[in-house]
Structures are given as structure tokens and as C-alpha cells.
Amino acid sequence: MQFQEFKIENLEQFPKDLETMLARQLETIAGITKNDDFTYAGVLKPLQDLDEELENFFTPLSHLNSVENSEETQKAYEASLPQLSKFASQIAQNEALFEKIKKISSDDLEPKKVIENNIRGFVLSGAELPMEQKKELEEISLKLSELGNNFSQNLLDATNAYELIIENERDVEGIPESDLALARTEVEGKTVYKFTLQAPSLMAYLTYGPNRGYREELSRAYATRAPQNGEVIDQILDLRFKKAKLLGFESYSEYSLAEKDASSTAEVTHFLEELGRLARPQAIEELAELKAFAKRVDNIEEFRGFDVGYYSEKLKKEKFDFDNSMTKPYFEQSKVLSGMLDVVSELFAVEFKAVEVPVWNEKTQPFDIYKAGELAGRVYFDLEARKEKRGGAWMHNWETHFTDASGEQHLPSAFIVCNFSPSTEDTPSLLRHDDVVTLFHEMGHGIHHLFGTCSEHSVSGVNGVAWDVIEFPSQFLEAFAYEKPILKRFAFHHETAEPMSEELLNKINDTKNYQAALGILRQVEFSLFDFNLHKALFQGDEVQELLNGIRETTALLEVPEYNKFQNGFAHIFAGGYAAGYYSYKWAEVLSADAFFACTDESGFNQEKAEGYQKYILNKGGSEDMSSLYKQWLGREAEVESLLKLYGIGV
């Protein structure tokens, strides 16, 4: 079967069309529920077909609202959310369907997992609750979905509302020309520089901007975005706590683990605290070195948070004779993308071919994927920052590989979205090395979905994969963005076509673990804040007090009182990572261990790569990741591999 065409013919009409589809699906579900067919093929097969139909229809709107945000997309999206929430609640409260599914059994691995997941999903959706509590749960789910969208929209609006205009050329000295070209504009016939809170612009000034006052101003503006989100957070936390209690859990953190790889809240907390403890001594040394450097070169007595990026880059330059601006001219977006696709092609025996199909933005690049000469999937790359796109980088799965109830095979598709420096008429899109890492990371998510070969929709690709191991394939692939043989494929100067020198290639690898312990402490801080925040009910000032308490061991610099980091923490309040941000580090144990298993002195072990594709990528959510990992390597992942990856205690 060929792919869906990306289009929404009428945004105004979309909620009405959705309403019609959902009503028709409810009728179909009612028919499945009432008939005498108690087989897997007669019940769960057609139900999964409905899932695919709904995802195919709704994903273009949710995607468009993220990448081409407008009043029209917001209106259609916000009108659709209550319908979807109500629809999910109606299915969750369908007791007859729940009872029917409980009677279905299968000896086949994939259907068995689908049955197990469905029963657990019903229980976690309140199927076993009395009617009054079911209604309460439905109202909570609806409100949470609205609040998450409000949080995200408030953040986007606040990000777009701010700009800093710099007139003096001295205040932009040292900023790479590719960044200056994007900032340069004219106001009343005078050339000035405009910096915003969008990631490429913000990072350019915080990393290279020489005016300390402007760095503080930008940092303060970023840390005080969307103050109205404080109230949204209180409402979200209150409703999440109520939801967990209704379902019989002590806390939302405990509720979140019901569908994760980790076994208990104590296990997660211990893992994070231990990781922080191991990283802290080296982090203290890294910060002391940075403070001493800032004192020596600029006589900075009181080193502050907004100084970190600037002096870290300068110290890196002095220590390694290296900074990100040295590599940026060599990482032209189109060449990096092409090179990465070549690497994936060789590792996993696939081929990518550019294809002309409808897209949402002229800079979007779609590719069809071929395996053994046969069409196997489609991927869309939307890589450049623009005002209408929300910040960050992500993979959004659209269609899924599976076999439907009529025996027809469907192929997968996905979107890879980043916010790299945009190209202009004069300058191509040039990437920092950490942008290259980001692209590999998101592609790791992409191939996890696109290389899925399961027949059952709800466990194919990224579907059904536990949230705390979903980052494993993305982090695994990003590790290769530091390898010299891989970088050599696409690191050519965008003007002279000269290949990157051996010296510079070596420096990328040499600086990989620069300030690694500080980076780990920062991630531990975010993760502990998220997980502990959802272990009880925190409201108002208690949220800040909890964060301050965690920072006593994780933040080695004093954080200013105006900093309201939580108001911009979209991952946990609008992005699905609630009580799950720890997943990044949890999954990184797997990815680090897998990376060392797949590399040896001669380079990449092709046999291990084939095993990785067969056991990890192809099987999606059809089995628990811990089981798949053991099938692949014959053992569990070792935490020491993570420390080894970062050069800590090694």
C-alpha cells in the first residue's frame, strides 16, 4: 500500500470532519463489541485498523500546529483535543469491550503482547472504576490535554514576543558570520543585529556574544518566559495527582512506571542520585577550572550562569585550540543529511531516494526508503528554524508498518524536525557539531519506527515501546556522530569544498567529554525535579522550593531568584515526559553499552549491527526491551558503560 498524501484541505472544517470520523468509529466499535466473535482477528485486528485510520487523519494537524503554527492551526487543534479526549474516554469506559478482550488469548508473540497492553491500558484508563469516578477521570484527561496545549502555546508566544536589538558592532565581535548573517537587519536605514529567544539565535549570543550585560539580558528573558505557566503547572500537577489516586497509585510517578521499564520509584530515584553522586566530584573540578579561566582572562570575580556558555567556548578554544565555529563551515546541512543517510544505508542495508510529494514547507525534504529493492518506508526532514515552528527537535511518527484485518500490508512514515540555522539566498544552512549530533539522534528515533517489521499495529515501530527505553535507539545512533570515519563522509568546507583536516576531526572527538560531568549533573537535576515533583502534590511556591532543594546538590552555581525554569519545562508539562524525564539517562545505559558492543578497534562490527536491527529496531514494542537486549547480546546492559562513554572514573 502506498503512503498517505500530506494535506489538510480545510482547517476550518477539520474539527467537523474529525467529529464525523470519531462517530463512525464508535459505531464500528459498538458492532465489534456486540457481535459473537471472540477471536483476536475479529476484535483486536479491526480495532488496530481504526487506530491507524485516526492517526493518519489527525497527525497532519498536530504536526502542522508544531511546524507551521498559526491562528488557524491553533483553532482547529484546540477544537479537536476535547473530541479526542472524549473519544478515548468512551473507549476506556466500554466495559463490554474490556470484558471481551479479557477473554481473548493467543500463543503468538505479537498478538499476546497486544492483548496484554490492551488490558493494562483499560485498567490504567479507569475501566474498573465505578461510573462516577470514570466520569471524573474523563474530565481530568480532557482538562490535562487542554492545559498541556496552553502551556506549549504560552511558551511559543513568549519566545516569539521577545527581541534584543544591538546597534554597536563591538557588541557582536567574535560571533561567527553565519550567525551574524541571520541576526543582521535594517531599522530606519541603519544596520543592526536582532537576537531572539529561538534556539539558534539565543545560543549564538550566549556562546559568542562579548557583551556580558546583553548575555544576562537574554538569559533573564529566557528564564522568565511565560510566567502565566506557573498557574498552569499548579493545575496540571493537581489533576495528575488526582488521576493517580483515582487509579489506585500513591503518586503520579508510581502511576507512570506502570508502563515503563523501571520497576519502582525507589529504583529510579536511587539511579539518579547515584549518577549525580558519581558525576559531582568531576563536575566541581570542571567548574573550578572554568571560573579560574574567566578570572584570568576577564577578571570575572562573580561567575554567573549566563557566563557558562561564553567562557566554556573560550576555554575549549584555549585547551584544545577548538570552538564550534571552526567546524561550522564544514557542516553544510545538505551534505550532513546526505552523509548521514549514506551511513544508515550501509549499516542497515537500505537505500534512500529523494521523492517529490506534497509537503508543508518548501524546505521540507522527503525520501522514500527501499530495502532489497522494495519500497519500505518514507521519511520527511524539516530541519530549519522559523518563527512559526516550536523550538527543539523531535521525531513524529505518522504511518506504521503493519498488516491490517484484510491482509493488506501498510508501510511506515515519519517526520524528523529540527531547528537549525536557516539558509538564506547568500548562506547555506550551516550546523554546529552538536546540531549534527541532534540530527543523528532524531534519525535514531526515526529508524526505530521506520525499520519496524511487526504485523501488529500497536506494537510496531515505536508503538508500545516503554517510554524509559524509547531514547535508546536515538542515543545509540548519535554516538556515531563523533566517529572520524563517519564525519569524513560529509565534513567539507561549504565554500572551498576542502575536507575537514585530520587535526580538526581529532579535536571533535577529543572535546566530546569536555565538561561531561557538568552536563550529567544538569540532566540529573532536571530528572530528579520531574520525578520528585510527581511523587507527591506540590503547589505554588512548593514547586520552586523542591527545585531549590534538588539544586543544593546538582547546581554548583547560585541560580538567580528570577529564574523560573519550570515555566519553560515543556518536556514534562506539554511533551509527554511527565515523571519520565529520567528516561534519557536510563536509556543511555543501554545505548552506551550497545555502542561499545558494536564498535571495536577495526571500527563498526557489521554482525552486531545486523543483530541490532533484527532484535531492537525490527521488533519495536513486541517484547520488553530488557528481553530484546538479552536476546541480542546475551546479557544485561552495564551501568559502567555510561560512565565510560563520558570518561568519568575511567
Rounded Cα distance between 585 and 524, Å, is 8
Cβ atoms 440, 478 nearer than 8 A: yes
Neighbours of 39 (CB within 10 A): 11
Q: Which of 70, 103, 128 is the last residue of a domain?
A: 128
292 within some domain: yes
When divided into structural domains, the chain yields a total of: 4
Neighbouring residues of 563: CB distance < 8 A, sequence distance ≥ 6: 223, 224, 305
Secondary structure string (H, E, C) spanning 193-251: EEEECCHHHHHHHHHHCCCHHHHHHHHHHHHCCCCCHHHHHHHHHHHHHHHHHHCCCCC
526 within some domain: yes
Do 119 and 34 lie in a common domain? yes
pLDDT at 178: 86
**267 catalytic residue (yes or no):** no
CATH number of the domain within which 97 lies: 1.20.1050.40
Neighbouring residues of 279: CB distance < 8 A, sequence distance ≥ 6: 517, 520, 521, 524, 646, 648
pLDDT at 322: 84
pLDDT in tens, 219-254: 999 999 999 999 999 999 999 999 999 999 999 999
Do 44 and 102 lie in a common domain? yes
pLDDT at 638: 84
CATH number of the domain within which 604 lies: 1.10.1370.40
Do 81 and 185 lie in a common domain? no
pLDDT at 39: 96
Residues of the chain with pLDDT below 70 are 1, 601-603, 650
549 within some domain: yes
Half-sphere exposure of 404 (CA within 13 A, CB side): 15
- What SS3 state is found at 649? coil
Q: Which of 203, 223, 243 is the last residue of a domain?
A: 223
Do 375 and 335 lie in a common domain? yes
Nearest C-alpha neighbor of 434 from the set 344, 353, 515, 356? 515
Do 520 and 510 lie in a common domain? no
Global confidence as pTM: 0.81
Q: Which of 128, 147, 181 is the last residue of a domain?
A: 128
Do 608 and 503 lie in a common domain? yes
394 within some domain: yes
pLDDT at 118: 96
Rounded Cα distance between 14 and 73, Å, is 10
Do 437 and 503 lie in a common domain? yes
pLDDT in tens, 450-470: 999 999 999 999 999 998 999
144 within some domain: no
Do 306 and 337 lie in a common domain? no
240 within some domain: no
Rounded Cα distance between 583 and 10, Å, is 38
Do 634 and 505 lie in a common domain? yes
pLDDT at 2: 83
Q: Which of 138, 332, 442, 623 is catalytic?
A: 442
Do 415 and 490 lie in a common domain? yes
Scan for cell 521488533, then name that residue: 619
Do 300 and 362 lie in a common domain? no
181 within some domain: yes
pLDDT at 601: 64
539 within some domain: yes
Do 632 and 505 lie in a common domain? yes
Range of the domain at 476: 329-515+584-646
